[in-house]
Structure 1
């Protein structure tokens, strides 16, 4: 476990800024409200086994007493660096994005499972979108019950969405809560990623993802 270097920090902050905009300042300056210390301190980013964690300074101090090979994780995993040294957000950061996102979209109930299967959101499945959303802006995808389902990129601006055909793409899928489920083996030895049924979506999304 170590602090991020300058290039790593730049990549992480740029990715987060794409989704939370000026609210990134709140993430960086946020103070911890719980912990074993009387003054838990603020939050910081730490790299461990190519994964980036958003964690309170109080937990970091205690984690230094654990051998690197024995430490599994700490705080909230917000993403990971690929073999080509590119940073990618993971679905485990959804709680943070949902709490600070500036732009959001809501999908119709009929489009929820399609998104959870990894498909892009079509105009026919779009229920609402934040006003003045720019094209290619990072957005958090919600159900009509205000449950965060995942995140993606706005393929079209809010103004353009009004003129699209039902089959046009409005949001490019990036990640969703179904990705956290493991690959299971089903009948006849075929392996596939089983997505949760709709009844499990509220339970999973309300649970802490870290």
Structure 2
């Protein structure tokens, strides 16, 4: 496990959001593992998108709950695409959070914020030899267009101001810290390596310094 870096200067706190609905849903994954989740929807989110939070395990009242901001990935989360590690990360995160108590923030930020169609366009460019970041730039997009303001608002609405962050991505910790969320610890996810996603994972480790222990 790695500890959080020194906090950068904080930005003004984002506007307050509020919980609009809380409903319990029994989750069951394709491998048969199951757990209940308290699913929260929100009003007042800065980007106007329909993000949700899953409260898992003993999530209420935890001093520093385990939290994963997970960006939506239709191809990986739903269809099991092996080109990325999103589906396995989602499965891992839900179980680990349920065991300790915390929240999975499911954020509607497909393709690191560029959207589903653009992500598939980037896949086509990757098939021609570009890595995942070069493909985004070839489309006139940024390497990563995600903004975690809504994530910070969701945590505020849930009454959470300090978290253990389940992520390999240092940008998530940096953005949340600037937005006023105290990251007490960065907890890496597992490395879900396959023949199909090794170039993708290597680009993340080399380009954006994800904490991934990959073979040479």
TM-score strictly above 0.5: no
The answer to which structure, 1 or 2, has the higher relative contact order (CA under 8 A, 6+ apart) is: 2
- Bin for the TM-score computed over the shorter chain: under 0.3
Higher alpha-carbon Rg = 1
Normalised TM-score (structure 2): 0.25
Higher share in strand: 1
